[in-house]
Amino acid sequence: MQQAEFLSMVMPFKDKLFRLAKRLLVSTEEAEDATQEILLKLWSKKRAIGGYRNVEAFAMTMTKNFCLDRLKSKQAGNLKLVHTNYSDNGTSLQKQVEANDSVAWVEKIMDGLPEKQKLILQLRDVEEYDFDEISEIMKMQPTAIRAALSRARKTVREKLMEKHSYGIG
């Protein structure tokens, strides 16, 4: 496989790899490093990559495993917790603050979810994978994925309702 062919295969989902790594590692810098590592690993497997039925699902699984290993390693204590701020120049400062607050709350709630629920919610609702692809990435049955996704969404909804209705009534 030539470099151009490899790039045309991998580049369309490179941002998804980064977002998954960022969700797991939190730090933008760590997520960028993880994404680069995964791309290097994919390049080293370029001869066998054509044999995979779904290269994107394979790469997402590699990313998930790499990030979880990284969090378990001795280096996990050295990870910087750096969040990038949401910004949109077309909105007022008030709306930016509200958007930042909402995004921060959802991220905080998602971080409190069990690991599988967090990953499934990220893959389904953020990355927009279908259930078969998530099943392949997570090595779970689609019915188990639907149940975990339902529980995750319910938890997020309940926590947001608690936050927004706090002090009312």
Quote the CA–CA distance of 50 and 8 in Å, as a whole number: 13
Quote the CA–CA distance of 119 and 49 in Å, as a whole number: 24
**CA 40, chain centre distance (Å):** 19
Kindly report, residue by residue over 91-139, the tens digit of the pLDDT: 567 777 776 777 778 888 888 899 999 999 989 988 888 898 899 989 9
* Domain ranges, ordered by start, for the chain: 3-78, 93-165
The CATH architecture assigned to 3-78 reads Orthogonal Bundle (1.10)
Long-range pairs of 119-125 with CB within 8 A, sequence gap ≥ 24: 119/20, 119/23, 119/24, 119/64, 120/145, 120/148, 120/149, 120/152, 121/149, 121/152, 121/153, 121/156, 122/19, 122/20, 122/23, 123/20, 123/60, 124/149, 125/149, 125/153
Kindly report, residue by residue over 7-45, the tens digit of the pLDDT: 888 899 999 999 999 988 878 888 999 999 999 999 998
* CB 107, CB 81: distance < 8 Å: no
Number of C-beta neighbours around residue 146 at 10 A: 16
Question: Is CATH 1.10.10.10 the classification given to domain 93-165?
Answer: yes
Q: DSSP labels for 104-121?
A: HHHHHHHHTS-HHHHHHH
Predicted structure pTM score? 0.55
Q: Taking 70 as the threshold, does the pLDDT of residue 83 lie above it?
A: no
Predicted confidence at residue 127, as pLDDT, reads 85
